[in-house]
Amino acid sequence: MKVRRTEEDGAFNGLLLTARESAGILDVNAQVVGHLVSAGYLTAVYRGQHWFVTLASVLAYRRRRGHSARSLQVAPRPRNAPRSS
């Protein structure tokens, strides 16, 4: 797992993961990680040309939901629903 550091304080606040790495920790796929970020359950930061999820938010979410994030019911968006930007 590639871990990147930021300048934030705290033990895990400065560690960043890709969506795929976060998905592996949460036992979901990367698309669900995107939904969790959009819903505000995970904190993501934009570095360079990529989004990264903070390890602290992944671990906190995992602790709240148990070892699997599959307990979250992420409803798929209807195909004809307008997208928010």
pLDDT in tens, 24-66: 999 899 999 999 999 999 999 988 888 899 998 998 998 888 6
Q: What is the pLDDT at residue 46? A: 87
Do the Cβ atoms of 61 and 69 come closer than 8 Å? Answer: yes
Spatial distance between the Cα atoms of 60 and 44, rounded to a whole number of angstroms? 14
Q: What CATH architecture applies to the domain 4-69?
A: Orthogonal Bundle (1.10)
15 pLDDT band, cuts 50/70/90, is confident
* Domain extent listing, the chain: 4-69
| pLDDT for 23 | 92
Asked if residue 9 has pLDDT above 70, the reply is no
Please say if the pLDDT value at position 20 is more than 90.
yes
Q: Which of 49, 53, 50 is nearest to 62 (CA)?
A: 53
